[in-house]
Amino acid sequence: MFDNKPRVTEKENRDYYLKVESYDWVKATDEILGLESFFHRARQKLILSAISKYKRKGKFLDAGCGTGLILRHLPEGSFGVDINPRNIPKAKLHADRAEVIKADLTKLPFADSTFFNVILTDVLEHFIYPEKPLKELNRVLKKGGILIGTVPGRSPLWKLRFLSSTRPREPYHRYYRRADLARILKDQGFKVKFLSHKIFAMEILYVIQKL
Res 165 pLDDT > 70: no
pTM above the 0.85 mark? yes
Domain 10-210, CATH number (from 3.40.50.360, 3.40.50.1820, 3.40.1350.10, 3.40.50.150)? 3.40.50.150
Contact by Cβ (8 Å): 27, 33: yes
Res 163 pLDDT > 60: no
pLDDT for 63-97, tens place per residue?
999 999 999 999 999 999 999 999 999 999 999 99
The domain segmentation of the chain, as residue ranges, is: 10-210
Residue 70, C-beta contacts closer than 8 angstroms, at least 6 positions apart: 44, 47, 48, 51, 62, 119, 121
Mean residue pLDDT across the chain: 95
pLDDT for 170-184, tens place per residue?
999 999 999 999 999
